[in-house]
Structure 1
Amino acid sequence: MNKTFTKAIFTFLLLSMSVLIAQAQNVIISGTVSDKATKEPIPGVGITVKGTTIATATNTNGKYTLTVKQAAPFTIVISYVGYASIEKEVTGNTSNLDFEIETTTVLGQEVVISASRTPERILESPVSVERMGPAVLKELSAPSFYDALTNMKGVEISAQSLTFKSINTRGFNSNGNTRFNQLVDGMDNQAPGLNFSVGNIIGISDLDLDNVELLPGASSALYGAGGISGTMLMTSKSPFDYQGASFSFKSGINHINDDNTGNQQYNQLDVRMAKAWNNKFAVKATFSYLQAKDWQADNYSNFDRTGRAFKAGDRSDPAYDGINVYGDESSQNMRSVVQQSIEPTIRAGILAASGGAFNPKTVLDNLPAGTSYPQYIGFINANVPAPLRPAVTNQYLPFYFGLKNSAILPNQEVTRTGYNENALVDYNTQSLKASGSLHYRFTPTIEGIAQVNWGSGTSVYTGSDRYSLRNFSIGQYKLELKGQDFFVRGYTTQERSGDSYISSILGAFINEASKKSQAWYPEYISTYIGAKLTTPGITDAQAHAAARNVADQGRFVPGSPQFEAAKDKIVNSTIASGTGARFDDKTNLYHYEGMYNFSNALNNVVELQVGASYRIYQLRSGGTIFDDLNHKIDINEYGAFAQIAKKMFADKFKLAVSGRYDKSSNFDGRFTPRVSGVLTVAPDNNIRVSFQTGYRNPTTQNQYIDLSVAGGLQRLIGGIPSMLNKYNMLTTNIPFTDVSYRAFLASVAAGTPDPTILKQYNFDPRGVRPESVQAYEVGYKGLLGSRFLIDAYAYYNTYKDFITAVDVFQRNPDNSFSKFGAPVNATGKVTSYGGALGLDYLIGGYNLSGNVSYNKLGDLPADYINDFNTPEVRYNLGLGNKEIIKNFGFNVNYRWQDKFYWNSSFASGDVPSFSTIDAQVNLKIPSVKSMIKLGGSNILNKYYFTSYGNPSIGALYYVGFTFNP
Structure 2
Amino acid sequence: MSRIYTQVFYVLLFVCAIHSAVQAQSITVSGTVKDRQSKEGLAGVSLIIKGQSGGTASAANGSFSFSTTAKLPFTLVASYVGYGSVEQQITSNTSGIILELETVVVLGGDVVVSASRTPERILESPVSIERMSAASIRDIAAPSFYDALNNMKGVESSMQSLTFKSINTRGFNSNGNTRFNQYIDGMDNQAPGLNFSVGNIVGITELDIDNVELLPGASSALYGAGGINGTLLMTSKDPFKYQGPSFQFKTGINHVNDDNSSVQQFNQLDVRVAKSWNNKFGVKAAFSFLQAKDWIGNNFSNFDRNSRTAKSGDRNSDTNYDGINSYGDEVSQNMRNVALSVQNATIAGINAGSGGAIPNIKALMDGAFGAAIPNTVQQAGFLAGLPAALRPAVQNYLPFYVGLKANLIPDQNVSRTGYNEESLVDYNTKSLKASGAVYYNFTNTIQAVAQANWGTGTSVYTGSDRYSLRNFNIGQYKVELKGQDFYLKGYTTQERSGDSYISSILGSYINEVSKPSTTWFPQYIGNYVGARAAGQTDAAAHVLARGVANQGRLIPGTPQFENAKNAILNNTISSTAINAQDPTKSVYGAKFDDKSNLYHYEGMYNFTNAFNNVVEFQVGASYRLYDLNSAGTIFNDLYESIDIDEYGAFAQIGKKLFNDKVKITFAGRYDKSQNFEGRFTPRITGVFTVAKNNNIRASYQTGYRNPTTQNQYIDLSVGGGSQRLIGGLPEIIFGKYKLDTNRPFTDVSYRAFLASAATGTPNPALLQQYTLDSRGVRPESVQSYELGYKGLIMPNLLIDAYGYYNIYKDFITAVDVYQNVGTPASPTFVKFGIPVNATGEVTSYGAALGLDYLINKWTMSGNLSYNQIGDLPVNYINDFNTPKIRFNLGLGNREIIKNFGFNVNYRWQDKFYWNSSFASGDVPAYSSLDAQVSLQIPSVKSSIKLGGSNVMNKYYITSYGNPAAGAIYYIAYSFNP
Question: What is the TM-score with the length of structure 2 in the denominator?
Answer: 0.91
Counterpart position of 1:320: 321
Q: Deviations over 1:406-448 (max 9, x none)?
A: 5x22121111101001111111111111111111000111111
Alpha carbons of structure 1 residues 152 and 58: separation in structure 2 relative to 1, 3 Å = farther
The structural deviation recorded for 1:928 is 0.5
Distance 1:37 1:648 in 2: 44
Alpha carbons of structure 1 residues 719 and 208: separation in structure 2 relative to 1, 3 Å = same
What is the SS of the residue equivalent to 1:430? strand
Residue 539 (structure 2) aligned to one of 535, 538, 541 = 541
Counterpart position of 2:943: 931
2:86–2:100 contact (8 Å) kept in structure 1: no
Counterpart position of 1:898: 910
Aligned pairs (5 A) from 1:666-677: 666-677=675-686
Distance 2:621 2:91 in 1: 36
Alpha carbons of structure 1 residues 43 and 790: separation in structure 2 relative to 1, 3 Å = farther
Distance 1:438 1:782 in 2: 40
Residue 720 (structure 1) aligned to one of 715, 725, 729 = 729
Q: Deviations over 1:859-878 (max 9, x none)?
A: 11123211111111111111
Aligned pairs (5 A) from 1:519-558: 519-534=519-534, 536=535, 538-558=536-556
Q: Deviations over 1:278-297 (max 9, x none)?
A: 11011111111111111111
The letter of the residue matching 1:940 is M
Residue 733 (structure 1) aligned to one of 720, 742, 750 = 742
Q: Deviations over 1:241-265 (max 9, x none)?
A: 1111101101111111122220111
Counterpart position of 1:834: 846
Distance 2:906 2:87 in 1: 38
Counterpart position of 2:330: 329
Alpha carbons of structure 1 residues 863 and 71: separation in structure 2 relative to 1, 3 Å = farther
1:730–1:765 contact (8 Å) kept in structure 2: no
Distance 1:640 1:622 in 2: 33
Q: Percent identity?
A: 65
Alpha carbons of structure 1 residues 54 and 802: separation in structure 2 relative to 1, 3 Å = farther
Distance 2:438 2:19 in 1: 21
The letter of the residue matching 1:326 is Y
Alpha carbons of structure 1 residues 34 and 146: separation in structure 2 relative to 1, 3 Å = same
Aligned pairs (5 A) from 1:219-230: 219-230=219-230
Question: What is the TM-score with the length of structure 1 in the denominator?
Answer: 0.92
Counterpart position of 1:574: 572
Q: Structure 2: give runs of 5+ residues left out of the alignment.
A: 577-587
Q: Is 1:875–2:887 an aligned residue pair?
A: yes
The structural deviation recorded for 1:601 is 1.5
Distance 1:277 1:893 in 2: 41
The structural deviation recorded for 1:576 is 0.7
The structural deviation recorded for 1:78 is 8.3
Residue 850 (structure 1) aligned to one of 839, 859, 862 = 862
Q: Structure 1: give runs of 5+ residues left out of the alignment.
A: none
Counterpart position of 2:252: 252
Q: Deviations over 1:460-482 (max 9, x none)?
A: 11111111111100011110111
Alpha carbons of structure 1 residues 308 and 46: separation in structure 2 relative to 1, 3 Å = farther
1:29–1:65 contact (8 Å) kept in structure 2: yes
What is the SS of the residue equivalent to 1:346? helix
Distance 1:738 1:555 in 2: 33
Distance 2:19 2:718 in 1: 54
Aligned pairs (5 A) from 1:252-291: 252-291=252-291
The letter of the residue matching 1:691 is Y
Aligned pairs (5 A) from 1:599-678: 599-678=608-687
Counterpart position of 2:309: 309
The structural deviation recorded for 1:195 is 2.4
Q: Deviations over 1:913-963 (max 9, x none)?
A: 111111111111001000011111111111111111111111111111100
Counterpart position of 2:432: 432
The number of equivalent residue pairs is 952
What is the SS of the residue equivalent to 2:442? strand
Residue 757 (structure 1) aligned to one of 734, 757, 766 = 766
1:13–1:594 contact (8 Å) kept in structure 2: no
Counterpart position of 1:207: 207
What is the SS of the residue equivalent to 1:373? coil
- CA RMSD in angstroms, aligned pairs only: 3.5
1:80–1:109 contact (8 Å) kept in structure 2: no
Distance 1:117 1:29 in 2: 34
Counterpart position of 2:558: 560
Distance 1:56 1:630 in 2: 51
Alpha carbons of structure 1 residues 739 and 631: separation in structure 2 relative to 1, 3 Å = same
The letter of the residue matching 1:937 is S
Distance 1:683 1:64 in 2: 39
Distance 2:173 2:736 in 1: 31
1:54–1:68 contact (8 Å) kept in structure 2: no
Q: Deviations over 1:570-600 (max 9, x none)?
A: 0000011112000100001000101111111
- Mean CA deviation greater in 756-765 or 228-237: 756-765
Distance 1:70 1:693 in 2: 44
The letter of the residue matching 2:482 is K
1:612–1:639 contact (8 Å) kept in structure 2: yes
The structural deviation recorded for 1:755 is 3.2
Alpha carbons of structure 1 residues 594 and 357: separation in structure 2 relative to 1, 3 Å = closer
1:333–1:749 contact (8 Å) kept in structure 2: no
Q: Is 1:922–2:934 an aligned residue pair?
A: yes
2:46–2:240 contact (8 Å) kept in structure 1: no
Distance 1:901 1:117 in 2: 37
Q: Deviations over 1:636-655 (max 9, x none)?
A: 11111111111111111111
Distance 1:850 1:65 in 2: 43
Counterpart position of 1:682: 691
Distance 1:853 1:44 in 2: 37
Distance 1:477 1:413 in 2: 52
Distance 1:22 1:839 in 2: 54
The structural deviation recorded for 1:347 is 3.5
1:302–1:320 contact (8 Å) kept in structure 2: yes
The structural deviation recorded for 1:486 is 1.3
The letter of the residue matching 2:128 is S
2:603–2:621 contact (8 Å) kept in structure 1: yes
1:56–1:64 contact (8 Å) kept in structure 2: no
Distance 2:13 2:55 in 1: 28
The structural deviation recorded for 1:217 is 0.7
1:528–1:547 contact (8 Å) kept in structure 2: yes
Counterpart position of 1:585: 594
Alpha carbons of structure 1 residues 922 and 399: separation in structure 2 relative to 1, 3 Å = same
The structural deviation recorded for 1:377 is 7.6
